Amino acid sequence: MSYSDNHELHFGYTLLRETLIPELLGSEEADILYWGGKRIARKYPAADTDEIIQFFQEAGWGQLELVNEKKKEIQFELQPLQNSIDRHIEAGYLAQQLEYQKDKAAETFLMEKRKRITFHIQWD
C-alpha cells in the first residue's frame, strides 16, 4: 500500500469519526459508540492484553499501553492518532474484552488529559 493509499484511508476514517458519526448520533454518540465497541469486541475477541494492544494498532485507534493492573481493575493509556474524536468505542471495546478475559462484568471509565487518554476498567 502506498503513502497515497494510506493517506486516503486515514482521511476517510477521519471523515467518519470526526464528522459523520457525531452528526448522525448527536447527543447519544457516547452511549452508542460504547455499545458499538462492545459489539466489535464480541466479533474480534482477544486472548490477552497483547492482542488488545495489537488490535488498537491495527484498527488505527492509536498506541495503547498497559499502565497498571490490580486484582479488580486495569488501566491503559492511549496515545491517539487523532485527538478530537470521541473515544467511547475504544472504551466499550476494552470493557467487553476484559469481561471475556476475567469472566466478570466490566466497565470502562474514560479520562482525557492533554494528548493522553486513560481507560480505567473495573470488574466485579
The whole-number average pLDDT for the span 93-102 is 97
Query: In angstroms, what is the C-alpha Rg of the chain?
Result: 14
pTM more than 0.95: no
Run of H or E residues at 2:
none
Confidence of residue 8 (pLDDT cuts 50, 70, 90): low
Domain boundaries, the chain: 29-123
Mean pLDDT of 75-103: 90
**For residue 17, what pLDDT is reported?**
75
Average pLDDT over every residue of 106-120: 90
**Number of C-beta neighbours around residue 102 at 10 A:** 14
Q: Could you please state the CATH topology (level 3) that the domain comprising 29-123 is classified under.
A: Muramoyl-pentapeptide Carboxypeptidase; domain 2 (3.30.1380)
Q: Supply the mean pLDDT for the chain.
A: 88
